[in-house]
Structure 1
Amino acid sequence: MRRADLPAPADSAPYYLPHAGEVALFEQCHQRQLAVMLKGPTGCGKTRFVEYMAWRLQRPLVTISCHDDLSTADLVGRFLIGAAGTAWHDGPLTRAVREGAICYLDEVVEARQDTVVVLHPLTDHRRMLPIDKTGETVAAAAGFQLVVSYNPGYQRMQKDMKPSTRQRFVAFDFDFPPPEREAAIVEHEGAVTASLAHALVTLGNRLRQLRDRGLAEVPSTRLLIAAARLIAGGIAVQDACNAAIVSPLSDEPALVGAMRDLVKASFI
């Protein structure tokens, strides 16, 4: 695989507002060849942060969305039959290792445990990837970095990462931004006025308080931005909030009713 096969770094910086020294910490992890784990709720900016750091470090970024059926072969590669016969094809993880890219595994605990184990030799002093099917051992090229993410609140009820895997990473704790910072993000990404962005963030924080009433997932910054974009496109404020924020969060009638009431009270 040649470097041209990997996504090139973005020409311009992805929009990201640093807030707690996470940029300098990530840069040190990259310089010292340390694997990184991002922990935080859905839609709080983990993926955007990785995109920003890949641009800042001028490294290609390979993103893998993990799921229950993700196999080792999906990451490492497999033999495929073509016109010229059977040939080995690198998977996305192997490509990233060979070419010194940042490899980002989103929601890593969704993958099977036997799949996650293949990451272990890349997270310590060995920095290599054994390929059992070919007998090759690929040494990580300069610039390679492994980054994983997951949502601890959701995963605690479903799955969790094995301690032997967790301790191979430097952990970054993410959460929803403080109100003023979140409003600035919604204003920029949603192309709305500062006052409307502030009102959407205030609504979001009120809805987040419903977690104690059985709301499994609270509204993310991503949902607030979606509502802002609908409003910027001419959709009525309450309709946009109900479609982009309330409906994605729950189907339970009592919760939906409570959230719709908060939307009405916020935009009278």
Structure 2
Amino acid sequence: MSTLQPFQVSTTFNVQAHPELEVLGFSDANHPQIPPRQDGYVFRHALLRDVLAFLHDAGGDGLFLTGPTGSGKTSLITQIAARLNWPVQSVTCHGRLELQALIGQFVLNNGSTQFVHGPLSVAAREGHLLILNESDLMDPSELAGLNDIIEGQPLVIAEHGGEVIHPHPQFRVMATGNSAGSGDGSGLYQGVLRQNLAFMDRFRVIQVDYPTLEIEQAVVQRAVPSLPLEIIHKMLVVALEIRRLFLGADHEAPALTVTMSTRTLVRWATLAITFKGAPQVFEYALSQALTARAEPEQREAIHRIAADVFGDYWEPAA
């Protein structure tokens, strides 16, 4: 089992912090469950602070990250884990996912049955991070089965002869969701369920919004360095307006049912370079990146916004 080692916060995450501020991680950088590292990832200071505080001392809590789609909830966790050599057991939740699948189950192997531990059991035993992505899509009665182990109580696997797993001191439970456990009032996220109050009471909750313009500009520039800065600025303006209409302005109902996440923004920029010889390249790339899956009226509205922002750049190449 990998041993713990301290990491200097300022150099590990490339942020301004006291030189003596450290956080514990693991010494083994070759564990297969360590997430891939994205060099140049820009950490938002307040979010980094909150996650590191939780990793340092969970205090019997889980950590719930809530925010709009594509705001970077999961990538925040995985990029912190990548720099701390912290193995991750990641599960994408859905309405038919059962607690037993997280704990483990018997499988047929060479004519005999064998118990295979699930991501929850492995994470608790080895001190990994358990990430429950889209957790608010899962049946709340199943998630409530995690209440005891989040608080640090042993995991008892009755199906495996009453095996008892005492949680490793570094074991952490983290969940993401587009809601904060109270259901989706916007109607934009199909399948989101109101979660059990006792389950949510075991979580610290942090809000992850879209990055600032400066951070998103840096992300796009890093992904597509050949794209002119003027074009990146115009793409950012379009993205901001789409998000404003998606989230609803001044307590009005959302005018759009699609939004431009950071990953969609990068996709648009990348496709603009890929199809740079096409007529109306920015419109063509935007359609593939986002609007082809929007309703016709919404697609037209988004393209009007982009045309106004891009001006002559939106017109077919001469």
Structure 2 length normalisation: TM-score? 0.76
Unaligned runs of 5+ in 2: 3-27, 249-253, 313-318
Q: 1:133-187, CA deviations, whole angstroms, 9 ceiling, x for partnerless residues?
A: 1222211123211110000288334422222111111111110112222222222
Counterpart secondary structure, 1:155: coil
Aligned equivalents of 2:265 and 2:99: distance in 1?
A: 36
Deviates more, 1:104-113 or 1:145-154: 145-154
Say which is worse superposed, 63-72 or 10-19, in terms of deviation. Answer: 10-19
Q: 1:179 to 1:159 in 2, by over 3 A?
A: same
**1:237 — aligned with what?**
282
Matches of residues 73-92 of structure 1 in structure 2 within 5 Å? 73-83=100-110, 85-92=112-119
Q: Distance in 1 between matches of 2:127 and 2:284?
A: 46
Alpha-carbon separation, structure 2, partners of 1:138 and 1:220: 39
**Are the structure 2 counterparts of residues 152 and 205 from structure 1 closer, same or farther at C-alpha, using a change threshold of 3 Å?**
same
Q: Which runs of 4+ in 1 moved over 6 A?
A: 1-6
Of 174, 179, 194, the match for 2:229: 194
Q: Which blocks of at least 5 consecutive residues in structure 1 are unaligned?
A: none
Q: Identify the structure with bigger relative contact order (alpha carbons < 8 Å, sequence gap 6+).
A: 1
**Which residue of 2 is the match for residue 56 of structure 1?**
83
Cα drift, residue 39 of structure 1: 0.6
The alignment status of 1:113 with 2:147, answered yes or no, reads no
Rate the CA distance shift 1:247–1:144 in 2: closer, same or farther, 3 A.
same
1:204 aligned partner: 239
RMSD after superposition = 2.6
Q: In the alignment, which residue of structure 1 is the partner of 2:7?
A: none
Cα distance, 1:20–1:11 mapped onto 2, change above 3 Å: closer
**Higher Cα Rg: structure 1 or 2?**
2
Whether the aligned pair in 1 keeps the contact of 2:137 and 2:193 (CA below 8 Å) is: yes
Deviations 1:190-226 (A, max 9, x none): 4434332222111111122323453134221111111
Q: Partners in 2 of 1:226 and 1:216 — Cα distance?
A: 19
Normalised by the length of structure 1, the TM-score is 0.89
Task: Please report how far the alpha carbon of residue 105 of structure 1 lies from its aligned counterpart in structure 2 after TM superposition.
Answer: 0.7
Instruction: Supply the AA of the counterpart residue of 1:256.
Output: R
Q: Identity percentage over the alignment?
A: 23
- Contact (CA 8 Å) 1:72, 1:118: kept in 2 or not? yes
Distance 1:75 1:11 in 2: 23
Q: In the alignment, is residue 166 of structure 1 matched against residue 200 of structure 2?
A: yes
Whose helix proportion is higher, 1 or 2?
Answer: 1
